[in-house]
């Protein structure tokens, strides 16, 4: 059934866009803190005498704890609200970003990065929950695209920023400076944000009506063993998880091993290295924004199934073929560009992916999106280790690229299975 929105925009406040702005700033801080370690990795390895395999475990320590705590934290956000949970998350991860500067050994670095991941877990599902309350269906794809664009813009600029900072600042001081930014965001968020737009003093009646017209209500579902069985055994949920695995796999490659790959495999020097290490994320900004616009336009014209899954399937096909081509390419600039294209195509699907998670999850959007994102976190966990061991055992970077390409082709099949019209918890209904 088509959602009916108020015809008049007279007196329509725009507080929901301020919420989106705060979420975008959160995304930017997230990737500032995540990505900086990939550029600093050679300095850390040299100072602590770490091998590539050991550094791979450092990268994966974050992803391991992120995967472990993602669903519990997101479920906590569903129950307690994103205001308090996101404040805790940002304060925690900012503290351990600063603590990374104090690492003195391989063991201490593993522990700090593990705790860093535990603190950051649940951040993006909490944002998804926020959007499910604040953003009506007709705007959801574009808003998700803007959110991810902010994250990837920050991630794309971070390697160049770190390259510049390293010319006059020790790598430990960079972590300390980056960690302080999160505390400012957490204070502003806690003081200004409200979980329900009806409770926010700046939201006018017209905007509240507009939001409510495109929001799902839920008659509730008791959280017991049947809840989790229903969640983990749902066909949509399984397909979303398998689909999302390669998305995070290739992205984590870009924010961990890509600078080393470009230097060792293709001989990039400092200036070109900084640019091409950030290029996948910079192109992803375009992919994020276009993906959000396209999925909303396709959904409005052809319905949710084609608007979400059609967009996702085509983009995944492009990503998979680009990675397979990059693995067999001996031309440095072309190989780097193909990896950037594949990453951008993958990120083109984020609005469709997270929009689908919100739509099939309804008031359980936090838990559903967290389950999907946990699959991605497992991809993030495995990626650094697979790359490191492929280098150790076979001396090959291309094995990892071929694997990523194949995973995206599996993802194309999954997009054909997903149906965003079918909610996991069927008692979620439209407002009367």
Mean pLDDT is highest, among 55-59, 108-112, 156-160, for: 108-112
Tell me the angle at which helices 82-100 and 52-80 cross, rounded to the nearest 10 degrees. Answer: 160
Rounded mean pLDDT, 221-245: 85
Q: What is the mean pLDDT of the chain?
A: 87
| 161 pLDDT tier (thresholds 50, 70, 90) | confident
pLDDT value for 132? 84
Can you read off the two tokens belonging to residue 393? 């055992």
**Cβ distance 102 to 183 under 8 Å?**
no
Q: What does the alpha-carbon distance between residue 272 and residue 3 come to, in Å, rounded to a whole number? A: 49
With a pLDDT cut of 90, the percent of the chain lying above it is 46
Q: What does the alpha-carbon distance between residue 21 and residue 149 come to, in Å, rounded to a whole number? A: 12
pLDDT value for 222? 54
Q: What does the alpha-carbon distance between residue 394 and residue 410 come to, in Å, rounded to a whole number? A: 25
pLDDT in tens, 70-90: 888 988 888 888 999 999 999
pTM over 0.75: yes
**Residue appearing with tokens 């870009």:** 254
| DSSP sequence for 168-189 | TS-HHHHHHHHHHHHHHHHHHH
List the single range of 1-5, 92-96, 295-299 with lowest mean pLDDT.
1-5
Can you read off the two tokens belonging to residue 67? 């995967």
Estimate the share of the chain in helix, then strand, then coil, as percent rounded to the nearest 5. Answer: 80, 0, 20
Can you read off the two tokens belonging to residue 318? 């492009």
List the single range of 17-21, 319-323, 378-382 with lowest mean pLDDT.
378-382
Give the CA-trace dihedral at 306, 311, 314, 319, to 10 degrees: -150
pLDDT value for 219? 47
| 214 pLDDT tier (thresholds 50, 70, 90) | low
Rounded mean pLDDT, 180-205: 92
Q: What does the alpha-carbon distance between residue 81 and residue 211 come to, in Å, rounded to a whole number? A: 18
The three-state secondary structure class of 429 is: strand
Q: What is the DSSP letter of 105?
A: S
pLDDT value for 25? 92
Is 90 exceeded by the pLDDT of residue 319?
yes
Can you read off the two tokens belonging to residue 308? 């979400």
Q: What does the alpha-carbon distance between residue 144 and residue 164 come to, in Å, rounded to a whole number? A: 31
Is 50 exceeded by the pLDDT of residue 8?
no
| 431 pLDDT tier (thresholds 50, 70, 90) | very low
pLDDT value for 430? 43
With a pLDDT cut of 70, the percent of the chain lying above it is 93
| 140 pLDDT tier (thresholds 50, 70, 90) | confident
pLDDT value for 1? 41
The tally of CA atoms less than 13 A away on the side-chain side of residue 146 is 18
**Cβ distance 8 to 202 under 8 Å?**
no
pLDDT value for 393? 93
- Sorted by where each starts, the structural domains of the chain and their CATH numbers stand as 15-217+227-425 (1.20.1250.20)
Rounded mean pLDDT, 52-67: 87
Q: What is the DSSP letter of 393?
A: H
Nearest to 285 by CA among 241, 378, 379, 351: 351
Q: Specify the higher pLDDT residue, 417 or 284.
A: 417
Q: What does the alpha-carbon distance between residue 402 and residue 77 come to, in Å, rounded to a whole number? A: 38
| 215 pLDDT tier (thresholds 50, 70, 90) | low
pLDDT value for 39? 78
């Amino acid at each position: 059934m088509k959602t009916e929105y108020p015809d008049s925009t007279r007196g329509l406040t725009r507080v929901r866009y301020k919420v989106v702005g705060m979420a975008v700033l959160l995304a930017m801080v997230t990737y500032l803190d995540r990505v900086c370690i990939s550029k600093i990795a050679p300095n850390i390895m040299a100072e602590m005498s770490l091998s590539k395999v050991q550094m791979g475990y450092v990268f994966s320590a974050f992803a391991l704890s992120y995967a472990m705590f993602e669903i519990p934290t997101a479920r906590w956000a569903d129950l307690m609200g994103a205001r308090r949970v996101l404040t805790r998350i940002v304060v925690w991860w900012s503290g351990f970003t600063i603590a990374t500067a104090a690492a003195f050994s391989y063991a201490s670095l593993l522990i700090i990065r593990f705790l860093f991941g535990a603190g950051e877990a649940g951040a993006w599902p909490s944002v998804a929950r926020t959007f499910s309350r604040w953003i009506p269906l007709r705007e959801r794809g574009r808003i998700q695209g803007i959110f991810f664009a902010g994250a990837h813009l920050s991630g794309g600029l971070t390697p160049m920023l770190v390259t510049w900072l390293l010319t006059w600042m020790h790598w430990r001081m960079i972590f300390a400076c980056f960690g302080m930014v999160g505390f400012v965001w957490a204070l502003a968020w806690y003081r200004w944000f409200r979980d329900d737009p009806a409770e926010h003093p700046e939201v006018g009646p017209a905007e509240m009506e507009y939001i409510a017209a495109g929001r799902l209500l839920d008659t509730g579902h008791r959280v017991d063993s049947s809840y989790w069985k229903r969640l983990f055994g749902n066909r949509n949920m399984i397909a979303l998880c398998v689909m999302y695995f390669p998305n995070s796999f290739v992205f984590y490659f870009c924010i961990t091993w890509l600078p080393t790959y470009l230097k060792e495999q293709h001989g990039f020097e400092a200036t070109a290295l900084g640019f091409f290490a950030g290029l996948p994320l910079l192109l992803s900004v375009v992919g994020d924004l276009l993906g959000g616009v396209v999925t909303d336009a396709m959904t409005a014209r052809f319905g949710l199934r084609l608007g979400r899954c059609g967009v996702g399937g085509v983009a995944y096909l492009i990503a998979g073929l680009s990675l397979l081509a990059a693995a067999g390419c001996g031309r440095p600039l072309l190989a780097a560009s193909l990896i950037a294209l594949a990453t951008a195509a993958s990120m083109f699907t984020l609005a469709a992916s997270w929009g689908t998670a919100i739509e099939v999850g309804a008031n359980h959007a936090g838990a559903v999106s967290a389950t999907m994102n946990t699959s991605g976190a497992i991809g993030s966990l495995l990626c650094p280790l697979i790359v490191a061991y492929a280098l150790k055992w076979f001396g090959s970077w291309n094995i990892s690229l071929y694997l990523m390409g194949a995973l995206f082709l599996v993802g194309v099949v999954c997009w054909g299975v997903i149906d965003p019209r079918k909610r996991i918890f069927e008692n979620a209904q439209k407002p009367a």
